[in-house]
Amino acid sequence: MDKNAVQDLQSEDRLKLKAIYNEYRTEFLNFGKRYNLNEDDLSDVYQEAFLALRKLAIKGTLDDVKSSMKTYLFGICKFKIYDVLKRKKVKIPYEAKLHVVEEEIQEIEIDREPPLTEKQSLLRNYFKELGEKCQQVLTMYYYRGLNIKEIVEEGGYGNENVVKAQKSRCLKTLRELCNG
């Protein structure tokens, strides 16, 4: 997969993300029409798939993927479409032509995330109560999977010790909120 595109997808750069979002959007909406879903359903699917793709990019899973970003994204979309169809109990129209297209795009399965446990919901609320700096450092560490060194560079911190101290302070606060 195009390394630059994957990098853009990982980034926080709104313009770059929007460019990728728009690059495949129209084509997907056309592609998705054959499944008898309306534009709102399809754009929901597209957004969920886009999020899933970004998380895979962040995780580094996409680096070794051979297929193009579009094919991969559409594969996730397809997986999500079947979910929606199942939920809505819609029968998939079967046409010979459709069948051919179906084979072109490989369905890509994405783990369904279980709902938050009670403790996790609480943690989420406490996390939102933390200061901006704390949220930033924890997000970089947990969500974006950056290590301390990368956080120093990305966040413009003085050195690794500053980040380490900040991170453990924030986690301590979270722990206290949980236990308190």
Partner 1 sequence: MNQETLLQKYLQGKLAKTEQQEFDALLKSDPEFRNEVEFHSDVNRAISAEEDEKFMKILSDFESEAREKKTEISKFPTKWLVAASIALLVGITYFFTTYQNTTSHDLYVQNFKPYRNVTHPIIRGDQLNDIKTQAFSEYNKGEYKKSVQLFTELYASEKEPYYLFYKANALIQLDRAEEAVPLLNKHLETQDSLTNKTYWYLAMAYLQLDDMVQAKQALNSVVERNAYNAQKAKQLLDAL
From 91-99, 101-109, 137-145, 152-160, span contacting partner 1 (CB under 8 A): 137-145
Q: Is 38 in the site for partner 1 (CB under 8 A)?
A: yes
Give the C-alpha separation, 152 to 165, whole Å. 12
Q: Is 145 in the site for partner 1 (CB under 8 A)?
A: yes
Give the C-alpha separation, 45 to 97, whole Å. 23
From 67-75, 88-96, 100-108, 169-177, span contacting partner 1 (CB under 8 A): 169-177
Among 65, 85, 123, 162, indicate the residue that binds partner 1 (CB under 8 A): 123
53, burial (CB in 10 Å: exposed 0-12, middle 13-18, buried 19+): buried
Listed residue (126, 167, 172, 174) closest to 150, CA to CA: 167
Q: Is 88 in the site for partner 1 (CB under 8 A)?
A: no
| Cβ nearer to partner 1, comparing 18 with 169 | 18
Q: CB of 24: closest distance to partner 1 in angstroms? A: 11
Distances (CA, A) of 133 to 50, 126, 129, 146: 27, 14, 11, 16
Listed residue (79, 102, 105, 94) closest to 36, CA to CA: 94
Among 128, 131, 132, 156, indicate the residue that binds partner 1 (CB under 8 A): 128
Among 7, 68, 106, 147, indicate the residue that binds partner 1 (CB under 8 A): 147
User: CA dihedral in degrees (52, 163, 8, 113; nearest 10)?
Assistant: 0
Q: Is 160 in the site for partner 1 (CB under 8 A)?
A: no
From 1-9, 67-75, 102-110, 116-124, span contacting partner 1 (CB under 8 A): 116-124
How long is the chain? 180
Number of residues that bind partner 1 (CB under 8 A): 38
| Cβ nearer to partner 1, comparing 116 with 159 | 116
